[in-house]
Amino acid sequence: MTILGQLALWLALLVGVWGAVVGVLGGRRGDQALILSARRATFVLAGLMTVAAASLLTALVKNDFNVAYVASYSARNLPLAYKLAALYGGQAGSLLFWAFVLSLFAAAAQLVTPRRYAHLMPLVAAVTSVVTVFFVSVTVFAANPFERLAFTPIDGRGLNPQLQNPGMVVHPPMLYLGYISITIPYAFAVAALLTKRLDIGWLHAIRKWTLLSWVFLSVGITLGMWWAYVELGWGGYWAWDPVENASFLPWLTQTAFLHSVMIQEKRGMLKRWNVILVGLSFFLAIFGTFITRSGVISSVHSFTQSSVGYFFLAFLVLGGIFMAWLVGTRLRLLQTEARLESPLSREASFFFNNLLLVGMAFSVLWGTLFPIVSELVRGTQVTVGPPFFNQVNIPIGLGLLALTGIGPLIAWRKASPGHLRRQFLVPVGVGLTMGLVLAALRFGDWYAGMALMLAAFVVGAIGQEFVRGVGARHRLHGESPVLAFLRLVGRNRRRYGGYIVHLGIVTYFVAFTGNAFKTELEASLKPGESATLHSPFGHDYTLTHLGVSQYEALNRFVSAASVEVRRGDERIGILTSEKRLYVDSFGRQQFEPTTEPAIRSTAREDLYIIYAGSVEGTEEAVYRFTINPLVMWVWIGGAILVFGGVVTLWPGSGPSARSPRRALEGYQATLEPVA
């Protein structure tokens, strides 16, 4: 099977190059035969990459340990789900997975894009083929998953234990889907620039793709946080690790684009900026992969380090130069059609929203790269960790939270003082009330207090929009509040889906404030001994060590330490944290022992228990107990955010077939004389 996979990769390389060449020629000359050939090349490419991916999956499932990749990332006793996840568990496989998914997206783009954008499609095929060829080249020449060993081991090493978690089965594909699907909007942007057809059409063509990519990235990032929380055992979910930062960067620029594109659609402004944002998002996604794969910046994700970084660096540099040339030579065609009428307008608030989103992306990128910059400039390595990122980014984040509420309240074009007063009175009142409540409670943390006040303001703003919308429908159509709410959202999914996304962001911020009140305690306890942990909500937990049991499971040896938990006088139950030693099918230890936390989640707080080990090989256990306030709201916020994204994405909420024409015509209309 691996020979078939290898063959498929080489053929994909040739077909990809063919697709790129005929795509460019077809797009330039308008030759229908070449255009058709470029389109078909994307389908053949998808077929070949499917064969390649299926070949590696077959090798993984059949335990073909003569294949170096299978021997490194799988084992006979690895559960099937993780054998399948091993496809992207190692570097070579993940690059193959990237090329495979990209080829599917490229084919899907050719299939689902309406015919009115046909003039862009050959060049879209060319761009997606070039990017696929790049990934196939890296796979073939630098990280080939089909490479064979000179001998066949009797068993494989197995998958990294930290990856043997349900979250890791879903989290990487989601993140990859997010990264990879950004290629499609980028391909449309390049096609529009090359054809000089820079009307609103290409923006409409990529709208769903951009949202899809943003939703996948959001799901991937949230699942990544969840995985880090339940698997890594440090009791947190975001550590400003370079790889986390790499996923956050394109998310920020895409979020900026999703806002600024509205200004171009409604007012014909920010055309250059939008093209730049699409390109930036694409290159930041590639940059994220570069960071993950190259090991240029040391991180806990360094298990994927290798020399493929040079390929990525070359691609980034060449791609960046090409994009800069393309935008630079089309600046005249990207001139704004309208002018800003007032600083008190939604357009102006979106300018500042973009400034902060891209500013945050810059600060995260700058912080991530600063160790390299420092080494280059001073010859001294420095560490840029969470204290730096929190210090720099929390104020920007609070500014963004404020704009989340301000933006939707201000009218397009120009807001009158009366309009502003009417719109802001209730939300500002809600925010100030929250401030008074916090002051009365002697709330200690300034940043957390500010975040809660702003969150209340945004909830007030969004709530007001929904209440007014439902009220208007109720008055106009006599609908019940529930029906009016459903129709309000259903008939304007983009606007109200966006508001739901904003609610998700607010929920995130509220959850983040819990970090300020985290409580931790280390204790070594003999069986029967107890430790007491005080919750920031006022109650005490009594944690009694029951003992340590040891047993064998499917592919691991488990040492399980159990704790009886009492809150005040109430018995909550027993929580068990595990120390796992993963072994192959011959019982040989393959990895260092890992720790599985025991977590009891409630809406208020999580009790997080880690069994650190035993004292001198006895049942006296060392524990770390942590109370993490409001963590559940991080996952709820993620779910709300994604739900809002899906509402916005739902078929029927996008531009109709008439939209490009209408947008091209601007705001022309025929006015009937008033009688």
Partner 1 sequence: MTERGETVGRRALLGAALGLLPVFRMSQDTSVARLQQPDLAGRPRQRVTNYENDPFIIGVERRLRCTCGCGLDIYTCRTTDFTCTFSPELHREVVSLVEQQKSADEILAAFVAKYGETALMAPPKTGFNWAAYLLPGIAIALTGIVLGWVVLRRTRTPAPVPAAGPDTASGLTSDDAARLRDELARLES
Rank residues 346 and 502 by Cβ distance to partner 1 and give the closer one. Answer: 346
Residues 6+ apart with CB under 8 A from 436: none
* Residue 419, token pair as written in the block: 């309009």
Q: Is 216 helix (H, G, I), strand (E, B) or coil?
A: helix
| Range list of H helices, 117-241 | 121-141, 166-181, 183-195, 201-227
Rank residues 86 and 348 by Cβ distance to partner 1 and give the closer one. Answer: 348
Kind of pairing, strands 621-629 and 570-582? unpaired
Amino acid present at 63: N
- Residues across the chain: 675
* Residue 7, token pair as written in the block: 């063959």
Rank residues 347 and 605 by Cβ distance to partner 1 and give the closer one. Answer: 347
Rank residues 147 and 522 by Cβ distance to partner 1 and give the closer one. Answer: 522
- Provide the minimum distance between the beta carbon of 382 and partner 1 in the complex, in angstroms, as a whole number: 4
- Provide the minimum distance between the beta carbon of 32 and partner 1 in the complex, in angstroms, as a whole number: 35
- Angle at Cα 92 formed by Cα 160 and Cα 145, nearest 5°? 105
- Provide the minimum distance between the beta carbon of 375 and partner 1 in the complex, in angstroms, as a whole number: 10
537 burial (CB, 10 Å; 0-12 / 13-18 / 19+) is exposed
| Range list of H helices, 228-269 | 242-267
Rank residues 87 and 357 by Cβ distance to partner 1 and give the closer one. Answer: 357
Rank residues 32 and 532 by Cβ distance to partner 1 and give the closer one. Answer: 532
Please name which of 18, 17, 41, 38 lies closest in space to residue 29, comparing C-alpha atoms.
Answer: 38
- Provide the minimum distance between the beta carbon of 622 and partner 1 in the complex, in angstroms, as a whole number: 4
Contact status, residue 629 vs residue 644, Cβ threshold 8 Å: no
Rank residues 1 and 531 by Cβ distance to partner 1 and give the closer one. Answer: 531
* Residue 316, token pair as written in the block: 């980034």
Rank residues 63 and 77 by Cβ distance to partner 1 and give the closer one. Answer: 77
- Provide the minimum distance between the beta carbon of 400 and partner 1 in the complex, in angstroms, as a whole number: 11
Contact status, residue 512 vs residue 635, Cβ threshold 8 Å: no
- Provide the minimum distance between the beta carbon of 456 and partner 1 in the complex, in angstroms, as a whole number: 24
Q: Report d(CA 280, CA 186) in Å as an integer.
A: 9
Rank residues 31 and 620 by Cβ distance to partner 1 and give the closer one. Answer: 620
- Provide the minimum distance between the beta carbon of 612 and partner 1 in the complex, in angstroms, as a whole number: 5
- Provide the minimum distance between the beta carbon of 172 and partner 1 in the complex, in angstroms, as a whole number: 20
Q: Is 598 helix (H, G, I), strand (E, B) or coil?
A: strand
Rank residues 170 and 392 by Cβ distance to partner 1 and give the closer one. Answer: 392
Question: How far from the centroid of its chain's Cα atoms is residue 382's Cα?
Answer: 28
Q: Report d(CA 381, CA 373) in Å as an integer.
A: 9
Angle, helices 446-477 vs 493-513, to 10°: value is: 150
Whole-number Cα distances in Å, 331 to 193, 276, 335, 600: 10, 11, 7, 56
Rank residues 115 and 339 by Cβ distance to partner 1 and give the closer one. Answer: 339
DSSP for residue 583: B
Strand partners of residue 560? 549, 578
In what side-by-side order are the strands of the sheet with 530-534? 530-534, 540-553, 556-567, 570-582, 594-596
Rank residues 349 and 507 by Cβ distance to partner 1 and give the closer one. Answer: 349
- Provide the minimum distance between the beta carbon of 263 and partner 1 in the complex, in angstroms, as a whole number: 12
Would you tell me how many other CB atoms lie within 10 Å of the CB of residue 264?
23
The single residue listed with the structure tokens 């309000």 is 488
Q: Is 625 helix (H, G, I), strand (E, B) or coil?
A: strand
- Angle at Cα 137 formed by Cα 136 and Cα 141, nearest 5°? 120
Rank residues 153 and 593 by Cβ distance to partner 1 and give the closer one. Answer: 593
Q: Report d(CA 184, CA 109) in Å as an integer.
A: 7
